[in-house]
Amino acid sequence: MNKTLRFMAVPTLALAALALSSAPAMAADQSYQSTLGQINGSTGSGTVTVDVTGNQAHVVLNVSGLAATFMDAPYPHVQHIHGGAEGTCPAPSADKDGDKVISTTEGAPFYGGIVTTLSTSGDTSPAAGLDLKVAGQGASYTIDRTFEVNAETKAALKAGTAVVVVHG
């Protein structure tokens, strides 16, 4: 069964998200997908698909239109599956301090904490969430990998409260 995943792209020093919507689960194995949404003036776009089979997740994340360089190097973009909250993308009203940027702190009540890091290789735990060495790089990139999915992520996907966030 295909389900929709919310997902958001984040401009420099801000964040955006697009949530993964979900229908009631009919089987243990599921497919979730979404198109990138934009907040904070992001020009990014993209798609994400998460196919879960047993305890394995195959993720394909394609993004473009993001910040390209930082200090003469490809701009690092960390991205995660968040969970444990509403499972929605924050509306402009989430900008509580009025600076016209929805910060990670302001967005957290909507999409929750990191449950999986969508790294280019290696660790996918929340602990790898800020590891720029395994972040997506540059204006456009694809992450295509399979890894063991943890119970918290699997539960958020099934409940329809998982949100993919691309930062930077």
Using one digit for the tens of pLDDT, what is the confidence trace for 39-62?
A: 887 888 888 999 999 999 999 999
- Is the model more confident about 36 or about 157? 157
What does the alpha-carbon distance between residue 38 and residue 144 come to, in Å, rounded to a whole number? 22
Where b means 16+ CB within 10 Å and e means fewer, 33-50 reads bbebbbbbebebbbbbbb
| Contacts with 70 (C-beta within 8 Å, 6 or more apart), sequence order | 76
* Other CB atoms within 10 Å distance of the CB of residue 117: 22
Look at residues 135, 113, 112 and name the one whose alpha carbon lies nearest to residue 123.
135
Q: What is the per-residue pLDDT across 66-80, written as a single tens digit (0 to 9) for each? A: 889 989 999 999 999
Query: Best-predicted range by mean pLDDT among 6-20, 27-41, 92-106?
Result: 92-106
Cα angle 119, 123, 124 (rounded to 5 degrees) comes to 60
pTM score of the predicted model:
0.83
Identify each DSSP E strand in the chain by its residue range. Answer: 2-9, 15-20, 30-35, 37-38, 45-53, 56-64, 69-70, 73-74, 76-77, 79-83, 113-117, 136-137, 141-148, 163-167
Beta-carbon-side half-sphere exposure of residue 163 (alpha carbons within 13 Å): 30
φ and ψ at residue 52, rounded to 5 degrees: -110, 125
Confidence category of residue 6, pLDDT binned at 50, 70, 90:
low
Residue 83 has pLDDT above 60, yes or no: yes
Cα angle 64, 66, 67 (rounded to 5 degrees) comes to 145
